[in-house]
Amino acid sequence: MNMNPPSSLPLPPGNLGLPLIGKNKNIFKNPQNFIEELYQKYGPVYKSRFLGKNFIYFQGYEAVKFVLTNENKYFTSPTIFKNFQRIFGKTDISKLVGQEHRDRQKLLTKALKNQVLDNYIHTIHNLSKDYFLKWMKSDFVDLYFEINNYTLELVLKLLLGIDSASGSEIDNYLKDMSSGLNTIPLAFPWTKLGRALKSRDKLFNQFEEIIVNRKKESDFGLDVLGILLTVQEQTNIELTVRETIEQMVSLLSLGRKELSSALTSFLILTSEDLDVLKSLQIEQEKLDTSEPLSLAKLKKMVYLEQVIKEVLRLAPPVSGGLREVIQDCSFQGFRIPKGWNVAYGISSVLQDPEIYKQPEIFNPERFNSTNAEDKKKPLCYIPFGGGARECIGKEFAYLVIKIFISALLDNCNWKFKENQDLTINTFPVARPAHKIEVCFTPK
């Protein structure tokens, strides 16, 4: 163990580039290759510069575990993206620290626990089948576009009870808000940030009306908002209307992106493995169809869970995370200075050859009870992050994916258009690099 004080140690290897620009040109051109090249060149911890800020990158199991297990001691939620806070607010769980973060986590965990998720099964199943019927009426559909529409409608319905009529308007608001994140911080009507803030106000006003009206009702309902309001009454943790709005918008934006990513990646990665598809179909046909779908029935789909895990290992919805250093520390003999930013690689853990045998190969069997590669070490399977800030919607995401795929196996055959590029870009969110068309036909 290195007992030298951090201040006496050297910084990690790397190149900070030009004082303002840093390595921006290379990282924007091909972010996956840029990060991988630096990892191969410098090792698991190295420094670089991004958007005019000093960054230290942590790659590989041991390095990432160091970050995830030292939350609130050495690392905290980043404050680098000022536009993000201006647009999406400062009070959703990803921005909170300390006791505030723990209280919010407790509140949201109760709103998304298994007993509550059971209420959503019927809605997820029926909406999935509705979309399959629509897709089967076309020769080919744009896969990511259609799944994105599905997840938006689903998340709006489950979060706030909003019907599909408002979906396209809300989608436009979210697009404007996202376009204002990485742009100059000038909020004029003609700038991206200005348009983002205008759309933010419209979306927040719409959500405020829903929340205020719901709080007046004697029965809050069984969507996430309703459960959240009920839990607040049962505990001493209460959110203001503004805090509730910001939390709902955060769950909507992130939940929709992660679900769209995971469902699209599932269909792409299983499309060329007939053995996997056959095994999925056999398991599906063994289900008792005389009773409605339930959490207990879904738990019997062991092979489907293995395939989902493998999809998320090879194409995690988010390939990494960000932190800010709040106290000088050291890792492997290098100084990690207070005030610097940290980026850690989720994919670098999920494809670590010391944990996962032949990590580049799609092999769901690695997660069966015999191999159990994800149980080799703590925090070695982190497609939704890990530690104190692990995604609170993880179980919700697994539920949606399981129900969607189960319903798909029951109702459809599907075939990808020939000679398509099925490359998946993994940064910042895993999604197809190009338009992908798929034909859905009835069983």
* Averaged pLDDT for residues 304-321: 95
Q: What is the pLDDT of residue 188?
A: 87
Q: What is the pLDDT of residue 237?
A: 82
The counts of H helices and E strands in the chain are 17, 12
Please report, for the domain that includes residue 178, its CATH number: 1.10.630.10
**Structure-derived torsion over alpha carbons of residues 217, 221, 224, 229, reported in degrees to the nearest 10:** 40
Q: What is the pLDDT of residue 10?
A: 94
Mapped onto helix, strand or coil, the DSSP state of residue 1 is: coil
At 428, the pLDDT band (50, 70, 90 cuts) reads confident
How many alpha carbons fall within 13 Å on the CB side of residue 52?
A: 5
Question: Distance between CA atoms of 350 and 374, rounded to whole angstroms?
Answer: 9
Q: What is the pLDDT of residue 110?
A: 84
Q: In the beta sheet, which residues pair with residue 350?
A: none
Residue 33 pLDDT exceeds 80: no
**pLDDT, averaged across the chain:** 90
At 21, the pLDDT band (50, 70, 90 cuts) reads very low
Question: Distance between CA atoms of 248 and 308, rounded to whole angstroms?
Answer: 26
Express each pLDDT in 60-76 by its tens digit.
Answer: 999 999 999 999 999 99
Short-list 11, 59, 48, 97, CA closest to 329 = 11
* Averaged pLDDT for residues 107-134: 90
Q: What is the pLDDT of residue 25?
A: 47
Q: What is the pLDDT of residue 22?
A: 46
Question: Distance between CA atoms of 103 and 111, rounded to whole angstroms?
Answer: 13
Contacts of 341 (CB under 8 A, 6+ apart): 50, 53, 54, 55, 56, 78, 80, 322, 323, 324, 325
Short-list 391, 344, 394, CA closest to 62 = 344
- Asked whether residue 379 is assigned to any structural domain, the reply reads yes
- Asked whether residue 17 is assigned to any structural domain, the reply reads no
Amino acid at 172: N
At 18, the pLDDT band (50, 70, 90 cuts) reads low
Question: Distance between CA atoms of 27 and 49, rounded to whole angstroms?
Answer: 10
Q: Exposed e or buried b for every residue in 379-408, given b needs 16+ CB within 10 A?
A: bbbbbbbbbbbebbbebbbbbbbbbbbbbb
Question: Distance between CA atoms of 204 and 363, rounded to whole angstroms?
Answer: 43
Residue 314 pLDDT exceeds 70: yes
Question: Distance between CA atoms of 221 and 238, rounded to whole angstroms?
Answer: 18
3-state secondary structure string across 274-292:
HHHHHHHHHHHHCCCCCCC
- Asked whether residue 70 is assigned to any structural domain, the reply reads no
- Asked whether residue 350 is assigned to any structural domain, the reply reads no
Question: Distance between CA atoms of 36 and 33, rounded to whole angstroms?
Answer: 5
Please tell me which residue, 324 or 291, carries the higher pLDDT value: 324
Short-list 318, 320, 322, CA closest to 341 = 322
At 20, the pLDDT band (50, 70, 90 cuts) reads very low
Domains contained in the chain, number: 1
Rounded to 5°, the CA angle 404-406-412 comes to 85
- Asked whether residue 43 is assigned to any structural domain, the reply reads no
Residue 159 pLDDT exceeds 60: yes
Question: Distance between CA atoms of 292 and 233, rounded to whole angstroms?
Answer: 32
Residue 155 pLDDT exceeds 90: yes
Q: In the beta sheet, which residues pair with residue 330?
A: 335
- Asked whether residue 46 is assigned to any structural domain, the reply reads no
Q: What is the pLDDT of residue 76?
A: 94
Q: What is the pLDDT of residue 149?
A: 96
Q: In the beta sheet, which residues pair with residue 161?
A: none
Question: Distance between CA atoms of 432 and 423, rounded to whole angstroms?
Answer: 6
Express each pLDDT in 237-288 by its tens digit.
Answer: 889 999 999 999 999 998 999 999 999 999 999 998 999 999 999 999 998 8
At 292, the pLDDT band (50, 70, 90 cuts) reads confident
- Asked whether residue 260 is assigned to any structural domain, the reply reads yes
Express each pLDDT in 343-397 by its tens digit.
Answer: 999 999 999 999 999 999 999 999 999 999 999 999 999 999 999 999 988 999 9
- Asked whether residue 52 is assigned to any structural domain, the reply reads no
Name the token pair of 100.
């505030």
Domain of 163, in residue numbers: 81-321+357-442
Residue 5 pLDDT exceeds 90: no
* Helix then strand then coil, % of the chain, to nearest 5: 55, 15, 35
